């Protein structure tokens, strides 16, 4: 298989991931209800994560409307992260994210507050942003109850969750909201305009390509024009934002916009760690049988642990 105009064959993909590509399910984001059902079914097939040493609690954050969260507390945690699932902004929930949120908590030692934000197209922008900002504010206000230092609260997520995290970091800065210690952004979709090289050329990549990315943005925005609080790549001023870790996948339409966002953060004086994972594709880190996926999750945990240390 050769990607359009990319002169790149599947032979350059990680061999463990490449072997599984023919067996991957196709999730059609043009049908949100079917996509949600399929994702839930796939999540149900995964083995339960090891939650030894974690106290897990479902709570509801008071807001308009109230926001369900699932809190993962490791022993002796000092910091916390407000964490968002992926799914294009149209699918995913606390249960589908459970394996990954538990791993982040276990490997980082941080309290993970997994957010069940409202989904499009029923709830378009700014619903998800407002939900996450409400949870961020609640986390800061209830830091003592959560057993964490209010100066050590991060924000992050995978895919659309990382997009929302980056947008909320901008929003919190501009609203003089709770201080955010760090942004942990895994494969964020930063810009709805889809003008980068990877957006133009990765039209048939596994799980996620230019077309599915465009469908996600259509559902998320509806007829509204995107702002920086929906698509952070539209922001003209990135100064004063929290330090960031940005992970990108090689065969991913959103790769280049995330890299460019990292460079712009650096140029604005924001400390950034950027990791481009060769041989991977969008969402491939969830295939934990692959050694590269195990390294990706280990690095997310280790990076968060360093960011929240004394």
Active site residues: 159, 252, 282
| C-beta of residue 133 within 8 angstroms of C-beta of residue 124 | no
Question: Rounded to an integer, what distance in angstroms lies between the CA atom of residue 177 and that of residue 302?
Answer: 27
Could you give the CA distance from residue 138 to residue 187 in angstroms, rounded to a whole number? 26
Main-chain dihedrals φ then ψ at residue 107, nearest 5 degrees = -85, -25
Helices within the chain (DSSP H only) = 15-20, 32-44, 94-108, 127-141, 143-146, 160-174, 197-201, 210-221, 255-267, 291-307
Tokens 């069940």, residue located: 116
Per the listing, tokens 């952070």 go with: 232
């Amino acid at each position: 298989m050769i990607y359009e105009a990319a002169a790149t064959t599947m032979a350059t993909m990680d061999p463990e991931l490449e072997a599984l590509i023919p067996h991957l399910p196709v999730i059609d984001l043009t049908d949100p209800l079917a996509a949600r059902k399929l994702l839930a079914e796939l999540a149900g097939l995964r083995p339960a994560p090891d939650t030894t040493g974690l106290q897990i609690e479902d709570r509801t954050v008071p807001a308009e409307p109230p926001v369900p969260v699932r809190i993962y507390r490791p022993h002796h945690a000092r910091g916390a992260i407000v964490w968002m699932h992926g799914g294009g902004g149209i699918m995913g929930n606390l249960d589908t994210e459970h394996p990954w949120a538990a791993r982040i908590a276990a490997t980082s030692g941080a309290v993970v507050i997994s957010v069940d934000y409202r989904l499009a197209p029923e709830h378009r922008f700014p619903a998800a942003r407002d939900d996450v900002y409400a949870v961020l504010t609640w986390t800061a206000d209830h830091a003592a109850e959560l057993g964490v230092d209010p100066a050590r609260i991060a924000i992050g997520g995978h895919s659309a969750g990382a997009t929302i995290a980056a947008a909320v970091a901008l929003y919190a800065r501009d609203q003089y909201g709770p201080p955010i210690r760090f942004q942990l952004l895994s494969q964020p979709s930063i810009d709805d305009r889809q003008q980068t090289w990877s957006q133009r050329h990765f039209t048939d990549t596994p799980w996620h390509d230019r077309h599915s990315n465009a469908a996600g943005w259509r559902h998320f925005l509806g007829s509204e024009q995107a702002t920086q609080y929906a698509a952070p790549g539209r922001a003209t001023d990135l100064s004063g934002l929290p330090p960031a870790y940005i992970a990108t996948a090689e065969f991913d339409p959103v790769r280049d916009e995330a890299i460019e966002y990292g460079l712009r953060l650096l140029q604005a004086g924001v400390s950034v760690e950027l990791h481009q994972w060769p041989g991977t594709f969008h969402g491939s880190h969830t295939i934990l049988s692959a050694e590269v996926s195990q390294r990706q999750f280990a690095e997310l945990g280790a990076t968060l642990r360093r960011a929240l240390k004394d």
